[in-house]
């Protein structure tokens, strides 16, 4: 029973992604289902903000997580996200070809053929939000074996962010908490500028990584061994699909989807490390990440909030990550995400927590760096 | 061709040089994790194959790199058989040279 509970609780995103796909397929107001689910999740996350969880292990210290099942789910999310884009492209095609409105049936399921402009907006927003939330699988698989790494790259490519997989492992995990890591937001930065700076910085890192590697291998930069170029080529089918389905409107829709999904990805990076400081070259420790162990966040985001443990034991499966007494916001990611959208509110919220970090967790050298921010009146 | 049908071993041994200490590395486990579990003071930092701290030299035997070592190890190191222990699974018993922490 415990095994079932531990494994089933991580299925919220797959189930809701399928619901979003079905919503797009059924059409009408159901096209907004993905947006509505995002709103409901925010409410549930806020209502359960005081419930914190630890990882579950049996008496022998073994995890209840079933690796084969969890991996199968993560791998299956790739076709699910592809399907999400295909369904949206179909709706775009219907809109641009002015398909007449009528109720039809497919395998016993009634759906509306044809879509209004308003519901098309709902479809695009729904697809963007769930493509973005699905990035948690791209993250988890970036730390795993060859085939998992490739699936991660392909999932990220659906959001035009295949460079993430390399930058995350070789840059973020190595340079965390330091200015060399574009994914760590320094104090005073807001989520909007971070989204762009982190995205562009990680792509630049991946570009430099490939340039150096190919130089060492005496290969041309313009080669299929170039993983930076290859990553963007993986995104090409999405671009072609949307151009075919909607022309200029298709390109605009894909741009919105990529903007939303990358914004959510970078918001996760933002929340994971905002304002925390590490001296270059010093070991990454639990105090260099914000933990998030709220019930709904833990289940929904497949424990991605356990950043403290993850950054010290990067090879550990998500279901085995645990509380490590890292700094903690105390509220879940959905609630926190809403705060990040209002930078002055977010800064006020984190001020006390960062002061506490400086006082009780920072080393002398880290405290000195924090003081440099304070001297510039950045908090 | 019959090697294709050979049953894979559930674990392999890694002999750590220069001490000669032998550890077992289970299938699905990496060399660093097995060494740390056996109480070996193997140097490491990131455990995701990005820092190079757990670098070691494979003297004998076959390994399966779990990621491309080419981003962290240079050309000469790759040619000399260096590997990142945190991203190394074993395909046979191996002998490996590592500078352990004092």
**pLDDT tens figures, A30-54:** 999 999 999 999 999 999 988 888 8
Which residue of A170, A216, A283 is in closest CB contact with B45? A283
- Model confidence at B16: pLDDT above 90: yes
Instruction: Tell me whether residue A360 is exposed, middle or buried, using C-beta atoms within 10 angstroms of its C-beta: 0 to 12, 13 to 18, 19 or more.
Output: exposed
Sheet holding B11-17, edge to edge: B21-26, B11-17, B94-97, B55-60, B82-84
Nearest C-alpha neighbor of A53 from the set A15, A5, A1, A17: A5
Q: Considering only CA atoms, which of A361, A199, A193 is closest in space to residue A277?
A: A361
pLDDT surpasses 70 at B3: no
User: Is A63 a residue whose pLDDT tops 80?
Assistant: yes
Chosen for mutation from B42, B50, B78 (greatest number of chain A CBs closer than 10 Å) is B50
**Inter-chain contacts counted by CB atoms under 8 A, chains A and B:** 42
Q: Which residues of B touch A223 (CB under 8 A)?
A: none
CATH of the domain at B76: 3.10.20.30
In a domain, B60, yes or no: yes
- The token duo for A281 is 């070259």
Spell out which residues of chain A touch residue B45, defining contact as CB-CB under 8 Å. 283-284
- The residue with greater pLDDT, A60 or A115, is A115
State the nearest Cα–Cα gap between A191 and chain B, in angstroms: 27
Task: Place A55 in a pLDDT band, splitting at 50, 70 and 90.
Answer: confident
Residue A273 CA, chain-centre distance (Å), reads 14
Q: Which residue has the higher pLDDT, B48 or A335?
A: A335
What's the count of helices (H) and strands (E) in chain B, helices before strands? 2, 7
| Banded model confidence at residue A315, pLDDT cuts 50, 70, 90 | confident
CB contact under 8 A, B33 and A209: no
Does residue B47 sit at the A interface (CB-CB below 8 Å)? Answer: yes
| A337-344 average pLDDT score | 97
CB contact at 8 A, A43 and A329: no
Helices (H), chain A: 2-8, 12-26, 33-47, 67-96, 117-133, 135-142, 146-157, 163-167, 173-175, 191-216, 227-234, 236-273, 295-300, 307-312, 333-340, 343-360, 364-375
Q: Which two tokens stand for residue A272?
A: 């994971």
Q: What is the pLDDT of residues A122-165, one digit of tens each?
A: 999 999 999 999 899 999 999 877 789 999 999 999 999 999 99
Q: What would the mean pLDDT of A70-99 be, rounded to a whole number?
A: 96
* Nearest Cα residue in chain A from B68: A146
Task: Let me know if residue B48 belongs to a domain.
Answer: yes
pLDDT tens digit string along A266-314?
999 999 999 999 998 888 999 999 999 999 999 999 999 999 999 998 8
- Given A146, A217, A314, which is nearest B48 (Cβ)? A314
Task: Tell me the CA distances in angstroms from A170 to B47, B77, B78, B85, one per residue in order.
Answer: 11, 18, 18, 16
Would you call B51 and A174 a contact, using CB atoms and an 8 Å cutoff?
A: yes
Q: Is the dihedral of CA A39, A128, A206, A142 positive or negative?
A: positive
Report the pLDDT value the prediction gives residue B74, as an integer from 0 to 100: 85
Mean pLDDT of A192-210: 97
Domain total of chain B: 1
Tell whether B5 lies on the interface with A, counting CB pairs under 8 A.
Answer: no
Of the segments A192-206, B17-31, B74-88, which one has the largest average pLDDT value?
A192-206
Say what the pLDDT of residue A379 is: 65
Q: Does A143 touch chain B (CB under 8 A)?
A: yes
Give the residue from B26, B47, B101 with the most A CB atoms within 10 Å of its CB, the best one to mutate: B47
Q: CB contact, 8 Å: B64 with chain A? A: no
**CB proximity list for B48: less than 8 A, separation 6 or greater:** A143, A169, A173, A314, A315, B86, B87
- Report domain extents, chain A: 2-375
- The mean pLDDT of B63-84, rounded to a whole number, is 90
Residues of B in contact with A213 (CB under 8 A): 70-71
Beta bridge partners of B60: B95
Contact across the interface for B49 and A169, Cβ inside 8 Å: yes
pLDDT at B71 over 90: no
Contact B86 A315 (CB under 8 A): yes
The reported pLDDT for the residue numbered B4 is: 56
Nearest CA in chain B to A143: B48
According to the model, what pLDDT value does residue A52 have?
83
Given a contact cutoff of 8 angstroms between Cβ atoms, the answer to whether A94 and A114 are in contact is yes
Q: How confident is the model at residue B50 (pLDDT cuts 50, 70, 90)?
A: confident
CB < 8 Å to A216, chain B: 70, 74-75
- Residue B52 falls inside a structural domain: yes
Task: State chain A's mean pLDDT as an integer.
Answer: 94
Give A217's contacts in chain B (Cβ within 8 Å). Answer: 70, 75
Compare A45 and A58 and report the one with higher pLDDT.
A45
Kindly tell me if the per-residue pLDDT of B2 is higher than 80: no
Across residues A341-354, what is the average pLDDT?
Answer: 96
Q: Residues with Cβ < 8 Å from B14, sequence gap 6 or more?
A: B22, B23, B24, B25, B31, B34, B35, B90, B93, B94, B95, B96
Which residues form the domain of B93? Answer: 10-97
- The closest CB to that of B70, out of A213, A284, A312, belongs to A213
Average of per-residue pLDDT across A303-327:
92
Inspect the interface and report whether the beta carbons of A283 and B75 lie closer than 8 Å. Answer: no
């Amino acid at each position: 029973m415990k095994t079932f509970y531990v494994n089933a609780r991580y299925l919220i995103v797959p189930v809701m992604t399928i619901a979003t796909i079905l919503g797009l397929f059924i059409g009408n107001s159901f096209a907004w289902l993905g947006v509505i689910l995002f709103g409901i999740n925010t409410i549930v996350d806020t209502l359960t903000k005081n419930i914190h969880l630890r990882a579950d292990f049996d008496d022998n210290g073994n995890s209840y997580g079933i690796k084969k099942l969890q991996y199968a789910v993560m791998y299956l999310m790739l076709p699910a996200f592809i399907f999400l884009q295909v369904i949206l492209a179909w709706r775009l095609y219907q809109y641009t070809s002015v398909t007449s409105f009528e109720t039809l049936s497919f395998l016993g399921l009634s759906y509306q053929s044809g879509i209004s402009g308003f519901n098309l907006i709902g479809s695009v927003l729904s697809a963007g939000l769930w493509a973005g939330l699905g990035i948690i699988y791209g993250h988890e698989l970036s730390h795993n074996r060859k085939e998992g790494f490739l699936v991660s790259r392909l999932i990220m490519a659906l959001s035009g962010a295949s460079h993430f997989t390399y930058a995350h492992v070789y840059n973020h995990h190595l340079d965390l908490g330091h200015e060399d890591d574009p994914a760590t937001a320094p104090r005073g930065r807001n989520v909007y500028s971070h989204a762009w700076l982190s995205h562009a910085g990680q792509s630049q890192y991946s570009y430099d990584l490939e340039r150096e590697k190919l130089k060492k291998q005496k290969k041309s930069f313009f080669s299929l061994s170039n993983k930076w170029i290859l990553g963007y080529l993986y995104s090409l089918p999405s671009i072609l699909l949307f151009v075919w389905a909607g022309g200029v409107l298709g390109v605009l829709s894909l741009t919105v989807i990529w903007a939303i999904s990358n914004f959510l990805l970078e918001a996760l990076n933002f929340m994971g490390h905002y304002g925390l400081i590490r001296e270059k070259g010093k070991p990454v420790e639990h105090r260099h990440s914000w933990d998030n162990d709220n019930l709904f966040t833990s289940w929904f985001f497949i424990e991605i909030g356990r950043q403290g443990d993850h950054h010290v034991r990067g090879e550990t499966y998500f279901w085995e990550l645990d509380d490590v007494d890292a700094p903690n916001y105390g509220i879940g990611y959905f609630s926190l995400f809403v705060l990040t959208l209002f930078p002055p509110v977010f800064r006020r919220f984190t001020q006390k927590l960062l002061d506490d970090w400086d006082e009780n967790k920072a080393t002398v050298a880290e405290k000195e760096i924090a003081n440099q921010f304070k001297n510039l009146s950045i908090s | 061709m019959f090697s294709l049908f050979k049953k894979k071993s559930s674990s392999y041994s890694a002999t750590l040089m220069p001490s000669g200490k032998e550890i077992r590395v289970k299938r699905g486990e990496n060399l660093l994790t097995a060494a740390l579990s056996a109480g070996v003071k193997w140097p490491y930092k990131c455990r995701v194959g990005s820092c190079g701290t757990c670098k070691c030299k494979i003297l004998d035997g076959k390994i399966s790199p779990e990621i491309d070592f080419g981003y962290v190890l240079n050309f000469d190191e790759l040619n000399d058989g260096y590997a990142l222990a945190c991203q190394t699974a074993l395909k046979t018993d191996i002998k490996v040279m590592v500078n352990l922490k004092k």
